[in-house]
Amino acid sequence: MSQQLSPKKFLNLTGYQWTCILYIAVAVFCWQLKYFRHIDNNYIIFRTSFYHFRDHINLYLNYPKEYYDVYIYGPTFTVFIAPLALMPEGWGFFFWEVGNAAAFLWAINTLPFTNRIKTIILLLCAIEFANSSHYMQFNPIIAAIIILSFTMVRRQKEQYATLFTVFGTLMKIYPIVGVAFFVFSKNKVRYIIWSFIWLAVLLCLPAIISGPQFLVQTYKDWFAALSSKNLTNQSLTTGFDWCMMGAARRLFQDSSIPNWPFLLGGAAVFGAALLRFKQYSSLKFRLQVMCSLLLMVVIFSTASEHPTFIIATAGAVIYIMMQQKPFTPFTIVMLVLLLVVTGLGPSDAFPKPARVWMQNYAIKAYPCIIIWFKIAWELLFKDFMTDKLPAGTKEEALA
């Protein structure tokens, strides 16, 4: 008689495995919700970029007959999206949503924590992941690229760390912060060599779709589009500019407040933290640097919007959960704010007047800004050599 698989064994999954299934289920739900109702505009922008690039059509103009809004990614993104663009639209969109979930799950899985801590991290990031997935955005992959750039340096796999950093930067500028992990590399010469190799390869790779001449023109168009986008983002009422500078502009109702003092201050604080060379041997210090960067690419960017905050929330939650006592009065308050204000603030969970008020004052950004200041203070003054990670963390010293 053949042995049958009992229901108990069939459903005998760990909490971590069920959480991973939850992410895939959210991705699939958002796919069917958007695709079958024909409200998949953002994915159409991504998919169409391949065909525009192939046909030598400027990627950065308005095409109202095809989609609303504009494309703002680099020409290298067209190589990334090409396999999905060549599929039937429904299948390409399906793998786009599931791929974002899989990339984020992979990145969190590479962190040196126990599965229990990883499960809590994923659950606390679930609302923001759903936000990004609902908007069909690329941001979970951006968060994954930054995390993987860190973990590959930690594993002394500079060839992969630099691949993630360079490829991500040439698609969307945010992952350029991964260059900071160079200071933690045990093989700095190899890191530099592989960076130049990947830069040369990936800068030229889109030419296989468009040819070299149009590729050069597209890079020029991209930089022009980024400059223009940065200026148009700075508003007192739009769904962009939800960052530290934008919060200040909206608080004082002065759109002329410049970005540079904030950017210079953030860079100075972060640079000063990296001068604490003796702290490099602490894995907790290095992880906290990664968390700081995940937050900084959002709270110091005028392009920050509702679905971007999966990147910042990941940094904030990882920081909280890597403490020996993660649930202190301060962190409990911050987690509530992250879940309610940052996660649900701009959604239908709040009445329209509250949503408008939150948008007009960039309230969504405030919890992430507060946590970044705490992280920055500790990176500057805390002695990480005496501060341990939670039990079960795979610690190692950096030579």
Interval 157-174: pLDDT, tens: 999 999 999 999 999 999
Q: What is the pLDDT of residue 233?
A: 77
Decide if pLDDT at 232 tops 80. Answer: no
Q: Is 14 exposed, middle or buried (0-12, 13-18, 19+ CB in 10 A)?
A: exposed
Whole-number mean pLDDT of the chain?
Answer: 93
Distance CA(20)–CA(314), nearest Å, equals 15
Q: Which two tokens stand for residue 239?
A: 């769904």
What does the buried/exposed string (b/e) look like for 342-353 if buried means 16 or more CB atoms within 10 Å of the residue's CB? bbbbbeeebeee
Q: Is 213 exposed, middle or buried (0-12, 13-18, 19+ CB in 10 A)?
A: exposed
pLDDT band at residue 112, thresholds of 50, 70 and 90? very high
Residue 101's closest CA among 121, 130, 135, 77?
Answer: 130
Domain ranges of the chain: 13-233, 235-399
Decide if pLDDT at 341 tops 90. Answer: yes
Which positions ≥6 away from 98 have C-beta within 8 Å?
Answer: 24, 27, 28, 31
Decide if pLDDT at 1 tops 70. Answer: no
Average pLDDT over residues 144-168: 98
Decide if pLDDT at 3 tops 50. Answer: no
Site of tokens 């990941």 = 314
- Residues 52-105 pLDDT 10s: 999 999 999 999 999 988 999 999 999 999 999 999 999 999 999 999 999 999
Decide if pLDDT at 2 tops 60. Answer: no
Average pLDDT over residues 1-24: 71
Q: What is the largest CA-CA distance in the chain?
A: 79
Q: What is the pLDDT of residue 41?
A: 93
345 or 103, which is more confident: 103
Question: In this structure, what DSSP letter does residue 87 have?
Answer: S
Assign residue 172 a region: left if phi > 0, alpha if psi is -120 to 50, beta otherwise? beta
Residue 164's closest CA among 185, 154, 178?
Answer: 178
Measured torsion, CA atoms of residues 317, 320, 324, 327, in degrees rounded to the nearest 10: -110
Average pLDDT over residues 9-19: 80
Which positions ≥6 away from 257 have C-beta within 8 Å?
Answer: 245, 248, 249
Q: What is the pTM of this model?
A: 0.94
SS3 for 326? coil
Decide if pLDDT at 4 tops 70. Answer: no
Q: Which two tokens stand for residue 92?
A: 């390409």
Average pLDDT over residues 295-309: 95
Q: Is 295 exposed, middle or buried (0-12, 13-18, 19+ CB in 10 A)?
A: buried
Average pLDDT over residues 183-193: 97
pLDDT band at residue 395, thresholds of 50, 70 and 90? low
CB 166 within 8 A of CB 195: yes
Cα separation values, 315 from 122, 125, 298, 311, 390, Å: 12, 10, 10, 7, 17
Q: What is the pLDDT of residue 278?
A: 96
- Residues 346-388 pLDDT 10s: 888 889 999 999 989 999 999 999 999 999 999 999 999 988 8
Q: Whats the size of the chain, residue-wise? A: 399
Decide if pLDDT at 5 tops 50. Answer: no
